[in-house]
């Protein structure tokens, strides 16, 4: 069975064809331009294949309410050319196949639950810390949507006692994204993350915010696995610091061996390397076909 997937990002669109077992047979990447040009690139790519369904993991905010007139749209994104853009409808019409649709991070957590580090589990979260922070949530065997979709990158965090930086988020200042995403690190320390590798105070503060956020996600979502990735997590020393900080912030309140005895296997990098997003998109297509 041939399935298509799109990982739709603000800077690039990754697309691939693969099978129902998560094997990728081909992939390509196109810069994100205006919707019309970008859709042309993507449609030309998929028209070379006989896919049975397409899945899209998309930057947001997006409309996931199947009863809404604007279901399958990108809604009020700051990337203005893309605001109020029908994504699903265009591909359904042009490719004439079922089109699955979800957030990029929900796609990624789905990929990890299906084939990666959370394989077979009923619940997991996927946190990406890059240009922004996004959190995909899989709970009770399904992706969480609710009113809109989770926006775990924007939980408000307590400041580190030594942090004088006000925060980068234009809405909240000191939310997770405002304090811990790549641009916040750069604004706080005056250099990009990868130029700060040898400054322990940078990563101690970073781990404080990430650990605090994960502790918040644990007490609210109660995931069986926490998967952590994105450009900032390429500082691999952060993993251990974040694990310790998460345990410290939970302060013994969530009394489970996964946290108290086996945190190394609880907070982990993706099992699918750099592919959870695109493989998850393929899985979204598969699920839509079998809906």
The answer for 206, left when phi > 0, alpha when psi is -120 to 50, beta otherwise, is alpha
Which residues, other chains included, contact 90 with Cβ-Cβ below 8 Å and sequence gap of 6+? 39
**280, interface contact from ligand ADP, Zn ion, none, CB < 5-8 Å by kind:** none
CA neighbor of 107 nearest in space, from 269, 281, 286: 281
Residue 9 touches which member of Zn ion, ligand ADP, none, C-beta under 5-8 Å by kind: ligand ADP
CB under 5 to 8 A by kind: which of Zn ion, ligand ADP, none does 175 bind? Answer: Zn ion
Report the b/e string of 46-60 with b at 16+ CB within 10 A.
beeeebebbbbbbbb
Name which of Zn ion, ligand ADP, none residue 160 binds, using a CB cut-off of 5 to 8 Å depending on partner kind: none
Nearer to ligand ADP, 57 or 193 (CB): 193
At its nearest, how many Å lie between Zn ion and the CB of residue 147? 17
Residue with tokens 């030309």: 44
Partner from Zn ion, ligand ADP, none binding residue 57, C-beta < 5-8 Å depending on class: none
CA angle 91, 92, 94 (to 5 degrees): 60
Q: Nearer Cβ to ligand ADP, position 9 or 89?
A: 9
CA distance linking residue 105 with residue 103, whole number of Å: 5
Query: How crowded is residue 128: how many other Cβ atoms within 10 Å of its Cβ?
Result: 25
- The tokens of 93 are what? 């019409």
Told to check if 278 binds Zn ion by CB under 5 A, we report no
169-198 residues near Zn ion, rule: CB under 5 A: 169, 171-172, 175
Indicate the residue among 88 and 181 with the shorter CB distance to ligand ADP.
Answer: 181
Q: Is 154 a binder of Zn ion (CB under 5 A)?
A: yes
Distance between CA 77 and CA 59 in Å, rounded?
Answer: 9
- Least CB distance from residue 32 to ligand ADP, whole Å? 11
Dist. CA 196–CA 39, nearest whole Å: 38
Nearer to Zn ion, 7 or 177 (CB): 177
Q: Which option in ligand ADP, Zn ion, none does residue 111 bind, with CB closer than 5 to 8 A by kind?
A: none
Binding to Zn ion in span 52-111, by CB under 5 A: none
| Contact footprint for ligand ADP (CB under 6 A) | 9, 11, 130-131, 182-183, 192-194, 230-232, 234-235
Count of H helices and E strands in the chain? 9, 12
**58 vs 247, which CB is nearer to ligand ADP?**
58
Residue closer to ligand ADP by CB (options 12, 119) is 12
The binding site for Zn ion (CB under 5 A) comprises: 154, 169, 171-172, 175
């Amino acid at each position: 069975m041939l399935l298509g997937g799109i990982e739709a990002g603000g800077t690039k669109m990754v697309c691939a064809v693969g099978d129902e077992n998560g094997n990728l047979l081909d992939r390509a990447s196109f810069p994100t331009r205006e919707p019309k040009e970008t859709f042309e690139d993507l449609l030309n790519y998929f028209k070379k294949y006989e896919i049975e369904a397409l899945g899209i993991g998309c930057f947001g905010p997006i409309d996931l309410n199947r009863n809404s007139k604007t279901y399958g749209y990108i809604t009020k994104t700051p990337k203005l050319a893309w605001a109020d853009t029908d994504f699903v409808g265009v591909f359904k019409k042009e490719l004439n196949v079922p089109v699955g649709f979800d957030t990029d991070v929900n796609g990624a957590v789905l990929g990890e639950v299906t084939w990666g580090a959370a394989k077979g589990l009923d619940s997991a979260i996927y946190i990406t810390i890059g240009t922004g922070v996004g959190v995909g949530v899989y709970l009770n065997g399904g992706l969480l949507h609710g009113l809109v979709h989770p926006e775990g990158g924007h939980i408000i965090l307590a400041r580190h006692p030594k942090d004088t930086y006000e925060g980068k988020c234009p809405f909240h200042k000191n939310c997770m994204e405002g304090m811990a995403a790549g641009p916040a690190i750069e604004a706080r320390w005056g250099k990009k993350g990868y130029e700060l590798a040898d400054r322990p105070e940078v990563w101690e503060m970073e781990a404080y915010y990430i650990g605090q956020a994960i502790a918040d996600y644990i007490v609210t979502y109660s995931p069986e696995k926490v998967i952590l990735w994105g450009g900032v997590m390429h500082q691999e020393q952060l993993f251990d610091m974040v694990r310790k900080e998460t345990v410290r912030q939970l302060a013994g309140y969530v009394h489970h061996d996964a946290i108290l005895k086996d945190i190394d296997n609880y907070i982990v990098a993706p099992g699918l390397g750099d592919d959870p997003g695109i493989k998850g998109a393929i899985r979204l297509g598969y699920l839509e076909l079998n809906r």
